[in-house]
Amino acid sequence: MEKLLITGGTKLNGVVRASGAKNAALPILAATLLTKELITIKNLPHLHDITTMLELLGSMGCGVSLDEKMSVQLDVSTLNNCEAPYELVKTMRASILVLGPLVSHFGKAVVSLPGGCAIGSRPVDLHLRGLEAMGAKISVDSGDIVASVDGRLKGARIFFDKVTVTGTENLLMAATLADGQTILENAAREPEVVDLAECLIAMGAKITGHGTDTITIDGVEALHGTSYPVMPDRIETGTFLVAAAITGGKVKVIDTDVKSLESVLAKLEEAGAKVSTGENWIEVDMEGRRPKAVNISTAPYPAFPTDMQAQFVALNSVAEGVGRVIENIFENRFMHVDEMLRMGADIEVTGNTAIIRGCEALKGAPVMATDLRASASLVLSALVAEGETKIDRIYHIDRGYECIEEKFGSLGAKISRVLN
C-alpha cells in the first residue's frame, strides 16, 4: 500500500497553481444529467473522486470523453439507466448529487445510500424531504433510495432545517426543470454552490439569489449544452498557504479565488503571516517567524470552513501560545488529533473543542490518515517535524489533493510516495 514519506524542517518557498475545486466539480458533473446536449466541463482536478463520478455517469450509459487537460465532454443522450450502484456510491458521498437531476430530467432514480469520509452523521433526509415537497415519490429499499415522479416535478417553497451544501445543490438542480417556481430558504452560500448555479445558468436555467440564503429558481422546459470551467479549489489553496505559515516560508498560490478565502486569510494574518493578494493570486510570507496561536470556530460559509479546521490544528501545534479550535459542523472531526499526539503535539479534546498548546517542534513518526482533511493536517505536521514521518492510508489524501507530493516538492518539501 502506498504511503507518503516526509522529512521535515524545510521552509517552503515558491509558486504553485491551484487545481479545480473537487467540491464544485462533482455537482457540476452531476448537473450534466439535466441536458441531452453535449456539454464540456473544464479545469477538473485529477482526483479519484472525479474519476469515480465519471465512472458513475458512464455506468448509466453517458458518453464520457476526457482529454489530457482534464476537460471532459459528456453526452447524456445515450443514457440507458437511472441507477447509481453501491459499488461506486460507497466510496464517494457526492454520488447522492445525481438523485435530483435524474428525477427531474428522467422521472426516476435508484441511488444507493452514500459513503465517503467517516466524519460523523451527514443524513440525506433533507434531500429527500425536499424532493417529496416537489412531488417525487421516495422510498428506501435495501439500502437504495428509489425515487420517481409522474410528469414533471412541481415548484415548491423549501426551508432547510439545517444548512446543507449537498442538499442545496441537489434541490437546486432538480428545480431547474420543475414546473413553476422553487424557493430554497436557509440555503448554503458556499462558493461551490454559486459555481454550480452559474454553470446551470450557462445551461439556460433561471436562477437568482445564489450566494445568499434564499435561492429562487424558475423552472424551464429544457437545458442546453455549454462549456464551463470549474472554479479553483479554495481548500487546496488554503492548505498550501498554511504550509507556508507552519514552516516559516513564503508561498504564492496562483489561479485561485481570493474572495472565497477571506476568513482563512484573516486567521493567517492573525497568526503573524504577511498576506498579499492580486486578482487571482495569494501570497503568504512568514519571513522565517514562528506562527502565533489562533482561535478557530467553524461555521457555514462565509465563516471559517470546517474543511480548514484540521490544517489550523496543525498550525497551532507548533505556534506560540495556546489556541482553541471549536468544530461546529461535524461531530467526529478530530480524528487527526490522536495521530498528531504520536508526533508530540499537545492537544486536549473535550466534546467539540480542541485546546492546542504550541510546542517548539514536532517529531517524525509513523501515522495514519483517517479522512481527507485530517490527512492534510498530518502532511503539514510532517513538514515541520524533526526527522521522518511516514503517512499510511494516503488514498484519503488522493481524494482531495491533486499530485500532492509533486506540488509540495516544487516548493522545496522533502516528500515522496513509497510502497512500504
Residues forming a β-bridge with 6:
389, 415
Q: How many CB atoms lie within 10 A of CB 333?
A: 25
- What is the structure's pLDDT at 400? 87
Asked whether the predicted pLDDT for residue 307 surpasses 70, the reply is yes
**How confident is the model over 409-419, as pLDDT tens digits?**
999 999 999 99
Q: What is the mean pLDDT of residues 53-80?
A: 94
- Note the pTM of the prediction, 2 decimals: 0.94
Q: How many CB atoms lie within 10 A of CB 310?
A: 31
Catalytic residue among 117, 199, 359, 403: 117
**How confident is the model over 179-201, as pLDDT tens digits?**
999 999 999 999 999 999 999 99
Asked whether the predicted pLDDT for residue 85 surpasses 80, the reply is yes
pLDDT band for position 46 (cuts 50, 70, 90):
very high
Q: Which of 368, 370, 239 is nearest to 311 (CA)?
A: 239
| Residue 117 a catalytic site member | yes
- What is the structure's pLDDT at 115? 54
Q: What is the mean pLDDT of residues 213-229?
A: 98
Phi, psi of 162 (to 5 degrees): -140, 140
- For the chain, give the number of residues: 420
Asked whether the predicted pLDDT for residue 95 surpasses 70, the reply is yes
